[in-house]
Structure 1
Amino acid sequence: MHILDTERLSLREFTPLDAPFLLRLVNEPGWIRNINDPGVRSVEDALTWAEGRLFKAYRELGHGFWALERREDGVLVGMCGLFKRPALPEPDLGYALLAEHEGRGYALEAARACVAHAKAAFGWPVLMAITAVDNTPSVALLAKLGFVEQGLEQLEGYEGPSRVFKLDL
């Protein structure tokens, strides 16, 4: 299902056909370093991961992490979206790109659109975000969006502490 468009990107729900892309994305060194290693090593693993992490959220929450496609050619470059994790008091913004598409402003463009969507479509008053402690590019992106750092927290599912951010919408 289509969610929204930006100048260069189209955001849509992932489908089972995206499993090969998801396998690649969650095994990127940046994903493993800054998010976690979900142990996804095959297309079948990617489908199982997507069911629990993506498709279930679409059905139960009406939002989640969405596929980022370049509008010009339909190439998948990453994911961005809104998710409610049990460890945080408010929904949060998350994003990840294949390394080959980093540095082109796609994450900022998609994140801006998701922040606007959180307010316009869901009426949320607050968004949160988390990063790895040393993920300087994500910290800079969140600052551009107006997020304010709240401190470090040890969140379930992460090996070390995470930097936690908040944005009043």
Structure 2
Amino acid sequence: MHILDTARLSLREFTPLDAPFLLRLVNEPGWIRNINDPGVRTLDDALSWAEKRLFAAYCELGHGFWAVQRRSDGELLGMCGLFKRAVLPEPDLGYALLAVHEGQGYALEAAQACVTHARERLAWQTLMAITAVDNPRSTGLLGKLGFVEQGQEWLEGYNEPSRVFKLAL
């Protein structure tokens, strides 16, 4: 299902046909370093991960992490979206791109659109975000969006502290 468009991007729900892309994305060194290693090593693993992590949220919450595609050619670049984690009191913004697409403004463009979606379509009052402690690119992106760092916390399910950010919408 289509979610939204920006000048260069289209965001939509992932489908089972995206399993090969998701397998590649969650095994990127940046994903493993800055998010986690979900142990996804095969296409079947990727589909199972997507069913639990992505598709279930679409059904249960009506939002989640969406596929980010370049509008000009339909190429999948990464994911960006809104998700309610059990470890945070408010929904949060999350994003990840394949390394080959980093540094081109796609993450900022997608994230800005998701913040607007949260404010205008979902009528949320607050949005959170978390990053690895040593992730200056994400910290900079969140700063551009107006997020304010709340400090570091040990969140359940993570092996090290996370930097926690908040944005009043």
Q: TM-score, normalised by structure 2?
A: 1.00
Distance 2:156 2:20 in 1: 27
Query: Which residue in 1 is equivalent to 2:143?
Result: 143
Deviation at 1:162, TM superposition (A): 0.1
> Would you say 1:3 and 2:10 are equivalent positions?
no
Is 2:71 aligned against 1:71? Answer: yes
Amino acid aligned to 1:116: T
Q: Residue 133 of structure 1 corresponds to which residue in structure 2?
A: 133
Kindly provide the CA deviation profile for residues 64-99 of structure 1, in whole angstroms up to 9, marking residues without a partner as x: 000000000000000000000000000000000000
Runs ≥4 residues deviating over 2 A: none
For the residues of structure 2 that align with 1:151 and 1:119, how far apart are their CA atoms? 24
**Counterpart for residue 48 of structure 1:** 48
- TM-score w.r.t. the length of structure 1 is 1.00
State the partner residue of 1:88.
88
Structure 1 residue ranges without an equivalent (≥5): none
Are 1:29 and 2:34 an aligned pair? no
Separation in 2, partners of 1:43, 1:121: 34
Identity %: 79
Distance 2:86 2:152 in 1: 17
How far apart, in 2, do the equivalents of 1:123 and 1:112 lie? 15
Q: Give the aligned CA root-mean-square deviation in angstroms.
A: 0.3
Output the CA distance in 2 between the equivalents of 1:51 and 1:85.
16
What do residues 1-53 of structure 1 show as CA deviations (whole Å, max 9, x unaligned)? 00000000000000000000000000000000000000000000000000000
How far apart are 1:158 and its partner, in Å?
A: 1.1
- The corresponding residue for 1:154 is 154
